[in-house]
Amino acid sequence: MSLPEAYTLSTTHRLAYSKDMSKITLIRHGQAQTGATDETAYDSLSDLGHTQAKWLGTHFRDVDERFDRVYAGTLIRHQQTASGMAIHGPGELITDPRLNEVAYFDLSNKMHEQFGLAHATCRDEFLTHLPLVFTAWQDGKIEGAEESFHDFQTRVDEVLHEIAAGDGRALVITSGGLIGMVMRVAMGLELGSFARLCLAIMNTSVHRLDQIGAGLTLTQFNAVPHLEARTRQDAQTYI
């Protein structure tokens, strides 16, 4: 399988919004079950993941960080992270399945079955594995995928448009792949850059999009202020 030429985003996927758009803060969930081999087994926080979420929530309260709306995907790890952070807006937590992660284990298993691509077992192996999987997925070569690459990109674009159109500051608790796709559509990243970006996103990292001109622009990426103390640096995790 060969890598295709760089994929170019169309002008319909540029996250252009009205002048009244809100600021959005994106959070990747806490560390999940890293030894899992399927979606179900992976979808809960590890002990460290619960601690990361608690520390981030404490940090936001310590610096008086407030949000008018709080969103999360429907996955268990999203809900557990939101609960551990204990950060809520004036209303209830808004749950939206469009904020869920791509089913990466499903794609990986199908790549193994159809192309003989070995499963990645550590971050170094993911550096090669993820771009190959995403390339085949984008090109429609993975038979029986639960969701197409185009559909994933479209739902991310749509839900971010809706959140941005709301009033006040929004907090969104989601997954690394979705955050990477937000960066892709906001910054026009080609596929290889998008894949590498996803691998750089740490658990409970903070990402911000602010209005600059006519659209949302990335103003903070992969911040972990709650994990910067020397005694917590071992809690900085990627998988």
Q: Which amino acid appears at position 32 of this protein?
A: A
What is d(CA 56, CA 33) in angstroms, rounded to the nearest whole number? Answer: 19
Per-residue pLDDT at 22: 73
Rounded to an integer, the average pLDDT of 181-186 is 91
Could you tell me which residues are beta bridge partners of residue 135? none
Percent of the chain with pLDDT over 70: 90
Residue in this structure with the two tokens 């994929």, named with its chain if needed? 7
Mean pLDDT calculated for residue range 143-166: 94
Q: How many CB atoms lie within 10 A of CB 26?
A: 27
User: pLDDT class for 21, splitting at 50, 70, 90?
Assistant: low
DSSP reduced 3-state for 46: coil
Which stretch of 47-51, 173-177, 214-218 has the lowest confidence by average pLDDT? 214-218
Distance CA 172, CA 24 (A): 7
**pLDDT tens digits for 103-138?**
999 999 999 999 999 988 877 888 888 999 999 999
Residues 110 and 142: beta-carbon distance below 8 Å: yes
Which letter does DSSP use for residue 99 in this model?
Answer: G
How far apart CA 239 and CA 231 sit, in angstroms, is 20
Cα→Cα distances 162→8, 17, 109, Å: 24, 10, 33
Q: Which of 204, 105, 88 is nearest to 146 (CA)?
A: 105
What confidence score (pLDDT) does residue 13 get?
Answer: 45
- pLDDT recorded at residue 215: 75
**Six-digit token string for 226:** 């709650």
Domain over 24-235 is classified CATH 3.40.50.1240? yes
16 CB burial (10 A radius; 0-12, 13-18, 19+)? middle
Q: Give the pLDDT of residue 6.
A: 35
Higher pLDDT, 120 or 62: 62
Averaged pLDDT for residues 23-42 = 92
- Rounded to two decimals, the pTM is 0.88
